[in-house]
């Protein structure tokens, strides 16, 4: 079973179309069953997930990890640094290598 089949049943409704408590409970039961029967579940998440986990992309942590990039390029935060137009691939991959390393190995 692929969970996207019928996933619309589980999407959040606007405040004008909120379901009553019983309907919400039934939806949770259906979702739980669908998850139990699924072979795979894919979760799409954005940058808010890492932020919710406590990762910060600026401030002291950024200065400790990327102070040299801040001084040389004027980058003030890890997020916009990912879009910086580095002049060559060496600089580009130096940034991204450190970014990946810091995200995977450094605690928030």
50-103 confidence digits (pLDDT tens) = 778 877 889 998 999 999 999 999 999 998 999 999 999 999 999 999 998 887
Residue 30 has pLDDT above 80, yes or no: yes
Dist. CA 103–CA 10, nearest whole Å: 31
Contacts for 94-97 with beta carbons within 8 Å, 24 or more apart? Answer: 95/66, 95/69
pTM equals 0.55
């Amino acid at each position: 079973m692929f969970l996207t089949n019928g996933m619309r049943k589980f999407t959040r409704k606007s405040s004008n179309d909120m379901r009553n408590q019983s309907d919400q409970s039934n939806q949770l039961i259906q979702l739980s069953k669908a998850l139990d029967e699924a072979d795979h579940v894919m979760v799409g998440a954005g940058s808010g997930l890492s932020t919710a986990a406590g990762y910060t992309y600026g401030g002291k942590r950024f200065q400790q990890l990327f102070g040299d990039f801040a001084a040389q390029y004027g980058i003030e935060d890890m997020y916009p640094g990912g879009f910086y137009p580095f002049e060559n691939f060496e600089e580009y991959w130096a940034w991204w290598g450190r970014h990946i390393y810091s995200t995977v190995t450094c605690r928030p």
